[in-house]
Structure 1
């Protein structure tokens, strides 16, 4: 079993995802208590894709997220550096989705190739957050949109403490029943705890040149959606425009 560390060596991280690919989607649904479906819907709504637009789904994995985006009529290119995850996605045969192997730090696409770009639960796994954000901007047309969906930090103190306990105790134990590589979920818990909070991640987006940066909490801040626009707007720090919306109870705020 491959155990990646917070150094995030690309070969180790890719090998880790190769090993969990077969049961990755099932494990995510179990660990999130079914919330992952609502998070994917929230990403699709935030992107506001139109038929015929080209969208990059970076860290697409098994292409479950890509399929949700393709249902809008957009043409989706899913990109991931785990060949095992892409193999699972190709077997699923999602319509309207092309899958490409690639590195987030050196994307295999020309400048301004996409109308919109998104990355869900993958930015945290890159070896260099700022380079990845700059690469996403490079391949986005002027005025194009970015949506980042990532685990974050609950804003309500009691929930935050419960969540930390879940990450460090319950989360690594659950995959022993449903995943082929429980050690991967120890890395998951550690990487979530080390991840920047909502305002700090907004700062990284700004530094990479994204404008109109804003974020929105899902499930009380366990997950956050960050949005930006390429080359348009004031480039000022966005605000938490939704707060503690709970996906799965009230549904994504609109």
Structure 2
């Protein structure tokens, strides 16, 4: 699966991530020019995990994104549907309770998490609205959602440069550092076709989330959306 226009079939997407699992963290660091570390720090601040809380990190991949929440003392569940990613995660972070799961049919009871988060994974889910509804379902009333996802730069010149990077510079860099460079062509196209910041906010509200807001990072290359599940 290499084209964003395909139907994001779960098996195909999972297979794609299985193929890049071994060097996934390194590749992301290189392709983002190190910015992914800053973005994940912003996610950790927004989630604000605390001892005694339960945090779901969806599309956690190898579990690296889950470390800040776990180290803050929260019981953290990294969840992903790529078995290859989970195997690599167990090799790197075997102490984490890595869990296999589909974002549209999460294997958790209603209202069990204080916070749910997903970074750079929502656009790869076949049904975005179903995933947002599932995140809502497993969050307790008063709990929060944090979504970090590639988005669209708000300044025209930056948007032009960024789109040129995605389609011209990213593929050759991916060929040099990734175990499956074709996957990153798909990822670049999926970024271009992803909804903008207001549209994702609207979808969060449609799923039931309140107090929805977003903050642009790196000029809108990435957007950090937040929301709260209303108390019953």
Equivalent position of 2:77 in the other structure: 77
Deviations 1:129-184 (A, max 9, x none): 00000000000000000000000000111101000100111111211111111100
Report if aligned partners of 1:67, 1:94 keep a CA contact under 8 Å in 2.
Answer: no
Gaps of 5+ in 1: 233-254
Cα distance, 1:159–1:9 mapped onto 2, change above 3 Å = same
4+ residue stretches of structure 1 with deviation over 2 A?
2-6
TM-score by length of 1: 0.89
CA RMSD of aligned residues (A): 1.3
Distance 2:68 2:38 in 1: 11
Cα separation, 2, equivalents of 1:177 and 1:136: 36
In 1, the alpha carbon distance for the partners of 2:182 and 2:202 equals 31
Structure 2 residues not aligned, in runs of 5+: none
Equivalent residue number for residue 8 of structure 1? 8
Greater relative contact order (Cα 8 A, min sep 6): structure 1 or 2? 2
Give yes or no for the alignment of 1:203 onto 2:230: no
Give 1:93 shift: 2.3
Deviation at 1:50, TM superposition (A): 1.2
Aligned residue-pair number: 231
For residues 173 and 138 of structure 1, the distance between their equivalents in structure 2, rounded to whole angstroms, comes to 41
Which residue matches 2:216? 217
1:70-219 superposed matches below 5 A: 70-93=70-93, 95=95, 97-219=96-218
2:64 alignment partner in structure 1 = 64
Matched residue SS, 2:195: coil
Task: Give the TM-score taking structure 2 as reference length.
Answer: 0.97
Would you say the 8 A contact 1:62–1:86 is kept in 2? yes
